[in-house]
Amino acid sequence: MSTRLAKGGAYLNRQKQVRFSFNGKQFTGYEGDTLASALLANDQVMMGRSFKYHRPRGVVASGAEEPNALVNLGQGGKFEPNQRATTTEVFDGLACTSQNHWPSLEFDIGVVNNYAARFLPAGFYYKTFMAPRAAWKHVFEPIVRQSAGLGKVPRDRDADRYEHFYAFYDVVVIGGGSAGLQAALAAGSAGAKVLAMEQTAHLGGRARIDGGEIDGMPVEAWVAGAAEKLAAMPNVTLRRRMMGAGVYDHGYVLGYERVTDHAPETAGPRHRLWRIRAKQIVTATGAIERPLSFAGNDVPGVMLAGAVRDYVTGWGVSPGDRTVVVTNNDDAYRTAIALKGAGLDVPVILDARGAGGGALAEEARALGIRIENGKGIAKVRGGKRVTGVAICTQAGEGSVLEEIACDAVAMSGGWSPVVHLWSHCGGKLIWDEAQAHFRPDPARAPTSHDGKPFVIPAGSANGPLDLAGVIADAHAAGLAAARAVGCAPLDCPLPEVAPQPEAALEPVWLMPQGAGPKLRMKAWLDYQNDVKVSDVRLAAQEGYESVEHTKRYTTLGMATDQGKLSNINGLATLAGQLNAPIPAVGTTTFRPPYTPISFGAIAGEARDAVFQPLRRTPIHDWHEAQGAFFEPVGHWRRPYCFPREGESHAAAVKREILQTRNSVGLLDASTLGKIIVKGPDAGRFMDMLYTNMMSTLKPGKCRYGLMCSENGFLIDDGVVARIDEETFLCHTTTGGAERIHGWMEDWLQCEWWDWNVYTANVTEQFAQIAIVGPNARKVLQKLGGMDVGKEALAFMEWKDGRLGEFDARAYRISFSGELSYEIAVPASQGRAFWDALLTAGEEYGIAPYGTEALHVMRAEKGFIMIGDETDGTVIPQDLGLNWAISKKKEDFLGKRAQERRHMSDPDRWKLVGLDTLDGSVIPDGAYAIAAGENANGQRNTQGRVTSTYYSPTLDRGIAMGLVHRGPERMGEVIEFNKVDGGTVMARIVDPVFFDKDGEKQNV
Amino acid sequence: MLILECPYCGVTAEETELHAEGEAHLKRFGPGSDDAAFEGYLFMRENPKGVHFERWRHSNGCGKFFHAARCTMTLQVFGTYPAQTLEPPQDIRDRISAVYPGWRWRDFA
């Protein structure tokens, strides 16, 4: 039985009871309980099942390192899987369920895997699912998916709110144990601006549980005093329930604050992600106890010795009436003493060391506890709960000397410093032979922008495990951090702590050391991913000698706990099998976050309307009011079409096109990029930027131009207007304005910085509206003002003037093949001008059209679209645009690349029109198939579709595509794949489908 | 996340405020250049574990391009300097030499 003790529990508020449910059962706990301590207090030792074998599992640890006790927490929009019971504070109304079982925790079908375990060794999945290929899809995958474990996927939208904080500190202290507090005191007293954070709700860490005296007072009192002193320092911020999640380049730290997880009804965000810049970081992150590898070390009731002590002393919980302690070090004796002090029975302490323990062992012996030196556990008895242990000699192979009945086992294999945050940004480790752990190598710290170390490990995170050593180390770390940020350390004395000498630890990587295969198969290393000693040995035998390979082959340390318990034991097992020293095997890479953080915290406020900026044209609100169907183009939303009541999108597009082709339509073209290029050298610069000759363009004229990258590939196109001798206005694609402006600046700043040219992106300064169709001129003439007649404003000309009440710049350009004007007015007048056009055009049935109509009409005319006809591998020559490439210019961006051999290869795929024999629309992106197969057994291809639409003007499908030697093959019929598996035949034709001679636009 | 100082506006900016623009001190080869020179300009890039020269743009700030000399391994920044130059300034070279005597990067030392 595990139960609540009548007395004790430093973390508890026994005045306040809380009710919660686990798998539908109602339980009670106290304020201050974690879910794990509250479940133990209610004799719910079994908390879940393991991932692979579905073995019954209980809580093994008491903090962030817990691998077993994971639950589905909450309901609906507050549901979250894989929450550690040990770090979840209970509150009134908490509801959770256990994971990895079906149909119930007590009776689980998947446990059959456990009995088949000998057939499911390391690499089983890799080996089994390789062949036959078809079996994966039809047999293995459905089974694996059904039984794949861990928590359920949330179904509802996250109902909580999250936020980001940006913060800047001299010194960030991570960890609020005795070391963190002392480091913060030292740095704070020196005047540094300090942020100290503690991941749990309690300050003081292990020291509060383990006891002792600091400065002549009990640890409990010293911790309270330290917290008070820190609170009184205006330069120090101390936060609880905040974890140092990661340390990154140049002192960037992520702090993960769980603001209301423990009290969901309070106001405020659930989590807060602190994005911190620190000059110095002190990692006072403590140490994690290692399990011992003996058979049955995963049976519910087997726990870490430190965790047992936490539950007894911190939460007033008895993990069992009779607890066997098994250890290779002195620290676990504290657990035996604590149990005894709580009135519980410790039938025996099994000390694997032949010589046994030191002063603490004497203390335990004085309490009347039986101690067996040189002994270990051969096997734990029990299935869903520990019922006893079989004792053996550690030096032997596991012959049972004695059976001892017990209902809990407290194990300790020594302590490993939490080096994660030290390692995140490149801090290296050294192997400490005496403590049998990796600790930070002070000579190889992470370095910052100035080449100097910026992380200082403190306390047991740096190696020392005794209170005196921890306090002294943390004190030095705090002062060093203050000094590094330029603070002169003030008078902050080192607290006095009496040394508590301990006997040396003796590494134990397998218990008993000669355990045979049967025992090794039940000796767990990684509880969460079900990796055993036998699996790591098998991996080594099969040649996975690198620790990174072994990890991936066995999945050791790859679960949500990232191997916090299993890492060192796994490495040592691998090293043993390879007969190599442990430091030669090395560690796997520690990556942030330290423990999983919520996606909500990462996203912060960036969701829904504020997910990303939304750019709106001056006419956007009108589009919205009309019920336009929008499509995203960059950060803009552009109307795709303007469907009327009961009208489908396809019908709306058709109507918009026919209205425009037959009378007049309006397009909001404000999103088109508009960049001014100005200066004495502007013409010279434009000639480099565009493939065409731009310097010869006369003021008042427009010219269509192409821009290429230095690779020769087409990157943007648009109409250039020459404003005056020194000034050009370049139109770019909607998505390209910022990119092209940056491109121009790049060349001006970094290559031709002696040229006198200035650029400005004026895209948002103007509203630009296209008036398109046979009646376009009549509409403008109704407004009155400047002469827009055929001679006064010829095709490819522009002029400034007044149109009605508006200052306007009129460009006579066309992307539809119709008589067309694009009118730019100041952005502030855009909406009024749009309204004026609608009124003036009323008698012609004027109507707006969207981007789809725009696309169809340009395709009918064979005009290319950047991103459809181009994909970063297409040169202008592929698109039949040789007329836009100057032969006179010595140089332009992309010219040298276009001289490369494969760029002039006649075998390139080139642009043609595609006319389906049956008039249907070819699927977008369809490939033209050719005879034969390639080396991979795939059908050869000879071209692909780049644009394909139903043309309302021609009432049939039209398409453009890039086809092998296309222009030489006019009239030939080729075959295109369809999505449904069939094919469609299409004739190669000229890409201009409509009004080839341009009669409609030249009126 | 790196911090670099923009040599134009003097702002010490986080990486989110900047945009990485690839290797610095590339010499452009245009029409008439031979294939090897052009290939070097267009495709061949350093990938050092150590001293490196990069182009950055203060894209969410003053918009200027600048150069940074830094160590890709230790993340030490030896300095940033304007883009209107063909080679790294001497004071930055000296700072690199103090840490990595005898360093070489392309033709610079």
Give this prediction's pTM: 0.91
State the nearest Cα–Cα gap between A895 and chain B, in angstroms: 6
Q: Which residues of B touch A900 (CB under 8 A)?
A: 35, 38
A533 within domain boundaries: yes
Give the pLDDT confidence score for residue A136 in this predicted structure.
65
Query: Cα dist. A118→A52, A532, B84 in Å?
Result: 12, 11, 68
Q: Do A749 and B84 count as a contact with CB atoms less than 8 A apart?
A: yes
Domain co-membership, A9 together with A117: yes
- Residue B105 inside a domain? The answer is no
Instruction: Give me the sign of the Cα torsion angle A457, A460, A464, A466.
Output: positive
Residue A608, burial from CB neighbour count under 10 angstroms (0-12, 13-18, 19+): exposed
Chain A positions in Cβ-Cβ contact with residue B51 (cut-off 8 Å)? none
A248 & A344 share domain: no
ipTM above 0.95, yes or no: yes
A731 part of a folded domain: no
Q: Which of A164, A691, A749 to mutate to test the interface with B (most CBs of B within 10 A)?
A: A749
Report if residue B106 sits inside a domain: no
Own/partner long-range contacts of A686-690 (Cβ < 8 Å, ≥24 apart): A686/A720, A686/A728, A686/A730, A687/A886, A687/A889, A687/A892, A688/A747, A688/A752, A688/A891, A688/A892, A688/A893, A689/A744, A689/A747, A689/A892, A689/A893, A690/A720, A690/A892
Q: CB–CB of B30 and A896 under 8 A? A: yes
Measure in Å the smallest separation between the Cα of B2 and chain A Cα atoms: 6
Q: Is the same domain home to A530 and A465?
A: no
Identify whether B71 is part of a domain: yes
Q: Are residues A87 and A172 in the same domain?
A: no
The sign of the torsion formed by the CA atoms of A649, A655, A657, A659 equals negative
CATH code for position B78? 3.30.2270.10
Q: What's the gap between Cα A384 and its chain centre?
A: 37
Q: Which residues is A825 bridged to in the sheet?
A: A767
A753 CB within 8 Å of a chain B CB: yes
DSSP letter (8 states) at residue A711:
T
pLDDT of residue A560: 86
Map tokens 């402006």 to a residue: A741
Pair A351, A235 in one domain:
no
**Domain match, A359 and A390 both:** yes
On whether any CB of chain B is under 8 Å from the CB of A252, the answer is: yes
The answer to whether residues A305 and A335 touch, using CB atoms and an 8 Å cutoff, is: yes
Distance from CA of B77 to the nearest CA of A (A): 5
pLDDT given for residue A66 in this prediction: 96
Question: For chains A and B, what is the number of CB pairs under 8 angstroms?
Answer: 71
CB contact under 8 A, B1 and A751: no
Residue B107 lies in a domain: no
List all residues 6 or more positions away from A989 whose beta carbon is below 8 Å from its beta carbon.
Answer: A912, A913, A914, A915, A970, A971
Q: Are residues A373 and A433 in the same domain?
A: no
Asked if residue A810 is part of any domain, the answer here is no
CATH of the domain at A394: 3.50.50.60
Closest CA to A653 of A832, A912, A921, A917: A921
User: Does the CB of A605 have a partner CB in chain B at under 8 Å?
Assistant: no
A341 and A364 co-located in one domain: yes
In a domain, residue B41? The reply is: yes
Domain boundary among A554, A580, A606: A580
Are A269 and A335 part of one and the same domain? no
Question: CB distance B65–A448 less than 8 Å?
Answer: no
- Contact in structure between A730 and A696 (CB atoms under 8 Å): no
Do A449 and B30 count as a contact with CB atoms less than 8 A apart? no
- On whether both A560 and A476 belong to a single domain, the answer is no
Please indicate if any CB of chain B lies within 8 Å of the CB of A902.
no
Residues of B in contact with A425 (CB under 8 A): 75
β-pairing, A371-373 vs A349-351, is: parallel
Does residue B42 surpass a pLDDT of 70?
yes
In a domain, A634, yes or no: no
Tally the domains of chain B: 1
Q: Which of A580, A612, A634 is the last residue of a domain?
A: A580
Domain that holds residue A996: 898-1003
Same domain, yes or no: A97 and A195? no
CATH of the domain at A937: 2.40.30.110
Q: How far apart are CA A22 and CA A34, in angstroms?
A: 13
DSSP characters over A568-586: HHHHHHHHHHHT--HHHH-
**Residue A143: per-residue pLDDT:** 63
**Considering its fold, how many domains does chain A have in total?**
5
- Residue A955 corresponds to which tokens in the numbers above? 């009432």
Rounded to 10 degrees, what is the CA torsion of A717, A719, A720, A721? -170
In the predicted model, residues of chain A with pLDDT beneath 50 are none
The answer to whether residue A444 neighbours chain B at the CB level (below 8 Å) is no
The answer to the question of residue A501 being in a domain is: no
pLDDT for res A103: 66
Instruction: Identify the domain containing residue B15 by its residue range.
Output: 3-99
Is A277 near chain B, with CB under 8 Å? yes
CB contact under 8 A, A449 and B33: no
Q: Are residues A404 and A422 in the same domain?
A: no
User: Which one, of A400, A364, A394, lies nearest residue A380 by Cα?
Assistant: A400
